[in-house]
A = this chain, B = another copy of it.
Amino acid sequence: MPRKPKGPVLNQLVLERLMHYFHLVGEQIPDNANGWVSSAHIAQLLAMDDTLVRKDLASIGVRGRPRVGFSIAELKGRIREVLGFNEIYKAIIVGAGRLGGAIVSYSGFAKYGLYVVALFDADTSRAGEVMGGVLVQPIDNLESVINRHDIHMAIITVPAEAAQAMADRLVDAGIRAIWNFAPTSLVVPQGVFVRHEHISVGLAELAYYLKRNNLTTTDWPSESWRPGQPLESTAEEG
């Protein structure tokens, strides 16, 4: 019998903010905080409103004490619990290119409970390589590995034009959650969750900042230069 879902239902923005609080108290604050932190301090470091910080923390049952603030240990423990970081979820990566390699080599995922079990590539000549300690396997092994290890999560790092067909195949094989790094949208059936990582989303903020501060240009670097062409040639540096 399936267990009942437990705990509050939280939307994407709350979940992302909880992750930011988790990073903050894990990386920045503990050095100078003797175990307590105020919502004002969190809000200041994250450039947000402290009412929202308190509301987010209250939504997961973390309440501060007047004039003391929030217990860092409680805050971290509760976020770990709500987001499921105390449990284990195994994932595979499909696409052993540079991005797939960067993700599998990232050593920070274990603290969130994520373990990359296998890496697949459509190019069979890649099979047998090891990236980030994980074996690259031929794509034909996909279904058997998913099945053997009872895997529900897949990370897609294939080119955009191959992503939808791969998502269909993953869903057919039993995948229920997809972390999509291919720069395209995916259509999946009800009951499958997709998180799109559009790497370019961050550019909105950067481009806007540069534009507002007159740090962009409307001139090409030179008459002969065209977008995509490197400005720095080997000759120039030789």
Contacts and interface: CB of A to CB of B under 8 A. Distances in A.
A112 B187 CA distance: 25
Contact of A205 (B6, B16, B113, B149): B16
Contacts of A5: 212-214
A195 B202 contact: yes
How big is the A interface, by class?
A: 35 or more
Interface string A1-27: 011011100101101101110011001
Interface of A: 2-3, 5-7, 10, 12-13, 15-16, 18-20, 23-24, 27-28, 82-90, 97-99, 101-103, 105-110, 112-115, 117-118, 128, 130, 133-135, 137, 141, 145, 149-150, 152-153, 176-177, 179, 183-185, 193, 195, 197-221, 227-234, 237
A120 to B, nearest CB: 10
A128 B234 contact: yes
- Give 7 nearest A-B pairs by CB, closest first: A84-B211, A87-B216, A98-B102, A19-B204, A99-B102, A152-B215, A15-B204
Given A87-B216, A153-B215, A176-B210, 20 more contacts: A5-B213, A12-B205, A15-B204, A15-B208, A18-B204, A20-B198, A27-B184, A28-B185, A87-B211, A87-B218, A88-B216, A113-B216, A114-B207, A115-B228, A118-B232, A133-B228, A135-B232, A137-B232, A145-B232, A176-B213
Nearest to A85: B207
Contacts of A108: 183, 200
How many subunits of this chain does the assembly comprise?
Answer: 2
Nearest to A98: B102
A198 B145 contact: no
B110 A209 contact: no
Contacts of A24: 185
A214 B2 contact: yes
Contacts of A176: 210, 213, 215
16 contacts: A5-B213, A15-B208, A16-B204, A83-B207, A84-B211, A84-B212, A86-B218, A87-B217, A87-B218, A88-B217, A88-B220, A98-B101, A110-B227, A135-B234, A152-B210, A195-B202
